[in-house]
Amino acid sequence: MSRRMMLAGSVLVLILAAVSLTALAQGLIEMRSPEVPPAQDGGWLLISAFVLLMVLPFVPGLLEVAVPRDRYPLPIDLEYTKDPRYMGRSARRLLLGGLGDALRDPGRHKVTLSKPEVLEIHDGLNLADNGRLDLLTWVRGDAVFGKGARCEEDIHVDGGVTFGDESFLRSVVAQGDIELGKGVHVVRWIDSDGDIVIGRDSTLGISAASGGSLRLGDGSKFRRLWGSPILTEGHDGAPPKPQVPSAVPRHDATGKTDIDDHVTRHDGDLLLDLVTNDPVRPLVVRGDCEIGDGVVFRAPIKVYGGIKLGKGAVVLGDIFAENDVVLGEGSVVEGNVFTQSAVWLGRGARVGSPARRTSVVARKNVTLGGAAAVYGYVLTDGAGEVACGER
């Protein structure tokens, strides 16, 4: 009741205010121009319309004040942290949280996860070629899906899981290894506590995350990858050799260089192909940057344009760029690669190391060449693809 009274009071106050303003305005006009006749009957009609138009925009707000329907703070997820394996972990939590102990026997059970669903539990599963699963499935052992299998709902596997060529699946989370054949299509994501092997020309939905290694066949398409390491076709899996830092290379191609205590800033394009003994500072290049074949640079680099690493070049810090980042054959970045554009890793290129997992993040495309390795995370807002052919 009090809210309604407040609403009525507010409307009344606004109307009175508007009428007073109108009267004041009218008075001012008359004072300045006495020849203007006082408002006649038609004038009051205009004044009424004016008052109505003054009050009208406030009516929805007055209703919201009187009967609040959206008064709570904007929601913040106070538990949010960055977790590359969030999909798999949250799905597993949701499944286990929605099940009582009594519901863990093989067979079909009605469960409520994010919505009411039917869960089918198997001790082990071997689905024939072109077989089909339409239910949410939990396999308490290993699972094998034949060629052309189709799974319309999420699959949880306690052991390892294999999908035959040309399979179609929504998502799978496995505690063992996952192996996908050629041309498998994942709609949402895959997650494994073990290793993951992806066949050629597969599509990996929005995320493929592995607690171990993640091997990608040529032609695989992806958005997010997590693994240590992530290896593309042709990589023998051998751990990288440690990089021996050389002296600092610096050579000004164009523009001028400004050095302070913290960073070296270079205006214009820059080619790093000479070795000098200058002290190491982070480098900011306001142009494009190229690092020559075999050159080792020991600090982070920020580039306003694009950056290209030559054959066997090494950057022991991070790379931040506005335009494309091209890592040449056998080149190495020990830190992160971050760009507002695209990234291309050439044959045998590497980002990160077993001792330091890092990221390749690009707003546009990420292309991984053959025998490339990333220790950590790959994310693209555009399209990700493994392309082992010559570029």
The site string for another protein over 320-339 (x = CB under 8 A, - otherwise) reads x--------------xx-x-
Among 2, 34, 35, 76, binds another protein (CB under 8 A): 76
As measured in angstroms, the least distance from the Cβ of 319 to another protein is: 10
Rg from Cα positions in the chain: 32
| Site membership for another protein, residue 242 (CB under 8 A) | no
Residue type, 372: A
Choose, by CB under 8 A, the member of 266, 272, 357, 369 that binds another protein: 357
Phi, psi of 175 (to 5 degrees): -85, -20
Taking the C-alpha atoms of residue 391 and residue 371, their distance in angstroms, rounded to an integer, is: 14
Sorted by sequence, the CB contacts under 8 Å of residue 69 that are 6+ apart come out as: none
Reported as half-sphere exposure (CB side, CA atoms, 13 A), residue 146 has a value of 8
CB of 357 to another protein, least distance (A): 5
Q: What is the token pair recorded at 1?
A: 């009741």
Residue of the chain from 254, 381, 383, 391 that contacts another protein (CB under 8 A): 381
Report the distance separating Cα 381 and Cα 252, nearest Å. Answer: 34
> Which residues, in sequence order, are CB contacts of 367 under 8 Å at separation 6+?
342, 343, 344, 345, 384, 385, 386, 387
User: Residue 62 in 3-state DSSP?
Assistant: helix
User: CB of 274: closest distance to another protein in angstroms?
Assistant: 21
Measured distance CA(206)–CA(185) in Å, rounded: 11
Site string for another protein, 34-73 (x = CB under 8 A): -----------------------xx-xx-xxx--xxxxxx
List 41, 79, 101, 236, residue binding another protein (CB under 8 A):
79
| Least distance (Å) between residue 122 CB and another protein | 35
Binding test (CB under 8 A) with another protein, winner from 160, 217, 292, 300: 300
Subset of 336-355 contacting another protein (CB under 8 A): 336, 338, 340, 355
- Of the candidate spans 79-87, 90-98, 163-171, 198-206, the one that interacts with another protein by CB under 8 A turns out to be 79-87
Residues in CB range of 52: below 8 A, 6 or more apart: none
Nearest to 136 by CA among 160, 108, 158: 108
* Residues engaged in binding another protein (CB under 8 A): 32, 57-58, 60-61, 63-65, 68-74, 76-82, 84, 226, 260-263, 265, 282-284, 299-302, 318, 320, 335-336, 338, 340, 355-359, 361, 363, 376-377, 379, 381
